[in-house]
Amino acid sequence: MNHVSGCSRRRFLYTVPLALLASACSPRTSHNEKEQEQKRPVAPAQNSDPSTALSLASLQKHLREERKSKSATLPGINRVTGFVVEGSDVILHGWQDQAIPPIELEVLVIALRNAFAVGNEYKGDPGCSIDPIPGEDPFRVQKVRVIGVPKDCVMAARHVRLDYELKRAGAGIPEPDGKILPSAFELADSDGPCVASGDREVSMAHRYWFYPITPERPRFTRDGQTVSILRPVGVQVLTEQEFMNGRGERTGATTADPGAQKFSGAVTALLASDKVPRYSQMVHDFRAIELARLMHFCGVQPIDLSFLINEFELARVEVPSLVGGVRRVEEGEAVCNATVTQTAEGTHYVERSNRYRYEYRGGVEAKVEIAEPDFRAGSLDILRRRIIASRPSPEVVFWRIN
């Protein structure tokens, strides 16, 4: 029998609509960010009746014996609804959702190492930051900073790639697989250049970053060493208008303009839709971080995860240390209205025109926090007994819950 298958930061400088989309992933919370967090979308409750269980003890044993690690995915489960601690085993429960990609094993490993603070490179909330270089043109070459995870791991590569892709999407530059979002420019200028009175020349910067949607409490049910996730963390895009000097230094910030807010809302909706696999993987990253921190908070012993935490070999991938700025400039003039009158002195022409200039130049912060008020007490004994009783044998890695 095959025992593996028991059951077959914020400076994310981005140049966007109305000038520069400065996006960030490095950690920093401003007054405007707090306001936006209060207006965050509601993270829905998930189906907490699991159909599959996965033993991390058996998985680690199999990986150690078979020397398989890189490019692996979690077998039989890609929606995790919680875990059970049974002796020295940690058993995940959940189900397999065919609409979304599998969970990369490396993502869980990285999340566990960050939660249990294994080494200096795992300190801080996982994320990335794309920042201007002091003293240089901030919109030509920018530096990449990775936070809380190794600089060359799959999670870092995804966060940097999606951060940079978001800058391009805001500027209306599609990816090779096509356009999946309206640009921030289109959303900002949906009413045309004459919506405002008088001349206007738009030259604004916006900072966008991926950030958790923290659900309302209670988020988890806990019964001894059995935990059920009622409302998993979601992912949103936050934005604010920021002011920068010619050296790329931040001098202030205020509420984002309507176009930028619509753009961030469109990305947030896409993240929740399961329609784009790479965005679903970003959600996997945030939920793996939540799961790992939940284990740490609930007292799971690192020795029971020792292979994943200490021995599992991560794939090394290329993550750029520098990227080019994303830039797009559009300008013109529109005659919004004109009046012609005739008098004895002659014909008089008066017009109102608007000049416009839209310039696009070119993070992620997985700040997932868990506290005691996030939990509610409840009886999970039936769920626990179902999971344990359904296991065909101690060696099986994953199995269907009866």
Give pLDDT tens digits for 202-247.
444 677 889 999 999 999 999 999 999 999 999 999 887 655 555 5
Rounded to two decimals, the pTM is 0.81
In a domain, 284, yes or no: yes
Residue 378's domain comprises 13-400
Tokens found for residue 322: 């520098």
Please give the backbone phi and psi of residue 311, each rounded to the nearest 5 degrees, phi first. -115, -25
In a domain, 216, yes or no: yes
The residues, any chain, with a CB within 8 Å of residue 356's CB and separated by 6 or more, are 193, 200, 201, 202, 331, 332, 333, 334
Report whether 242 contacts 225 (CB < 8 A).
no
In a domain, 166, yes or no: yes
In a domain, 286, yes or no: yes
> Has residue 21 got a pLDDT over 80?
no
In a domain, 47, yes or no: yes
What rounded mean pLDDT belongs to the chain? 81
In a domain, 7, yes or no: no
- Mean pLDDT, residues 351-376 taken together: 76
In a domain, 349, yes or no: yes
What integer pLDDT is reported at residue 141 of this predicted model? Answer: 83
Nearest in space to 254 (alpha carbons), one of 40, 30, 55: 30
What integer pLDDT is reported at residue 277 of this predicted model? Answer: 93
How far the first Cα of the chain sits from its last, in Å, is: 20
Number of domains in the chain: 1
The residues, any chain, with a CB within 8 Å of residue 328's CB and separated by 6 or more, are 15, 171, 172, 173, 185, 358, 359, 360, 361
In a domain, 2, yes or no: no
